[in-house]
């Protein structure tokens, strides 16, 4: 095999154009793990409240403070969260912690656009200070975001970049002394693996960078 004269490589290479969409989804979501969950709250043009989880979610930059969300389509139509973000230019990312795992899951139900997902999931709602969006009132950490850029991904939906205009923190969240780091043991974040599998905070290893 080219590049492997001693025959040591044992990998099986799956060409992504030779498998179906389901398999591509299964490979991607079981290998890009664990993913943080952006629990996204929005308001529609008509004022209907919406909240739904998105694990195709990531930090992009810190100055300006940017996050990304990839929101798929349903039956060829944009999901309500994407529609709302484009209509209002704003959304909140509620950080999913252990205490909210089940409530977050309830908000993945596919309600019609006129259904209030806060009410459906029994969640208290409050209004962001810096952007035109609601947030989950008892969530300990919330990123208040303004739409920064939208990239149309065609049949894959849309990629949204949001600029974080406000970081809302419960005063009980422990902050690492002398910094703005939120202590992970205090936050108790949840990560998504694949399917119905989630991961909670396990052992934290401290590994300083090597010096040259």
Using the minimum distance from each CB to ligand FMN, give the nearer residue, 121 or 187: 121
- Does 155 interact with ligand FMN (rule: CB under 6 A)? no
Say whether residue 50 binds ligand FMN (CB under 6 A).
yes
Helices within the chain (DSSP H only):
21-31, 80-88, 101-106, 117-120, 184-187
Kindly report the three-state secondary structure assignment for every residue of 18-53: HCCHHHHHHHHHHHCCCEECEEEEEECCCCCEEEEE
Piece in contact with ligand FMN (CB under 6 A), picked from 10-18, 45-53, 60-68, 158-166 = 45-53
Comparing C-alpha atoms, which of 21, 94, 8, 19 is closest to residue 51? Answer: 94
Nearer to ligand FMN, 24 or 175 (CB): 24
- Which tokens sit at 171? 């005063």
121 binds ligand FMN (CB under 6 A): no
Binding piece for ligand FMN, criterion CB under 6 A, among 1-9, 58-66, 68-76, 169-177: 68-76
Work out whether 79 is an interface residue with ligand FMN (CB under 6 A).
yes
Piece of 76-84, 85-93, 163-171, 181-189 that binds ligand FMN (CB under 6 A): 76-84
| 95: CB partners within 8 A, 6+ apart | 36, 39, 139, 140, 141, 142, 143, 187, 189
- CB nearer to ligand FMN: pick between 74 and 174: 74
- Secondary structure letter of residue 189 according to DSSP: B
* Among the listed residues 28, 85, 93, 106, the one whose alpha carbon sits nearest the alpha carbon of residue 58: 93
Pick the closer one to ligand FMN by CB: 71 or 164.
71
* Closest to ligand FMN by CB, 72 or 189: 72
| Beta pairing, strands 198-200 & 190-192 | antiparallel
Q: Minimum distance from CB of 5 to ligand FMN (Å)?
A: 42
Restricted to residues 97-116, the positions that interact with ligand FMN (CB under 6 A) are: 105, 108, 110
H or E stretch at 75: none
Contact set with ligand FMN (CB under 6 A): 37, 50, 52-56, 70-72, 79-81, 105, 108, 110, 157, 192
């Amino acid at each position: 095999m080219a590049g492997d004269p001693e025959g040591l490589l044992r990998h099986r290479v799956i060409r992504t154009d030779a498998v179906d969409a389901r398999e591509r989804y299964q490979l991607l979501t079981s290998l890009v793990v664990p993913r943080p969950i952006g629990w996204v709250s929005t308001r529609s043009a008509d004022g209907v409240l919406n909240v739904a989880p998105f694990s195709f979610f990531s930090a992009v930059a810190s100055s300006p403070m940017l996050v990304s969300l990839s929101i798929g389509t349903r039956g060829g139509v944009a999901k309500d969260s994407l529609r709302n973000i484009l209509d209002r230019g704003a959304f909140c990312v509620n950080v999913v912690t252990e205490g909210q795992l089940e409530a977050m899951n309830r908000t993945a139900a596919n309600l019609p656009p006129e259904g209030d997902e806060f009410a459906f999931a029994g969640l208290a709602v409050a209004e962001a200070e810096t952007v035109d969006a609601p947030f989950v009132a008892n969530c300990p950490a919330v990123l208040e975001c303004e739409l920064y850029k939208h990239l149309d991904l065609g049949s894959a939906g849309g990629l949204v970049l949001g600029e974080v205009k406000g970081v809302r923190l419960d005063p009980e969240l422990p902050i690492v002394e002398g910094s703005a780091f939120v202590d992970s043991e205090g936050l108790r974040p949840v990560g998504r693996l694949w399917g119905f599998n989630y991961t909670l905070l396990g052992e934290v290893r401290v590994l300083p960078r090597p010096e040259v």
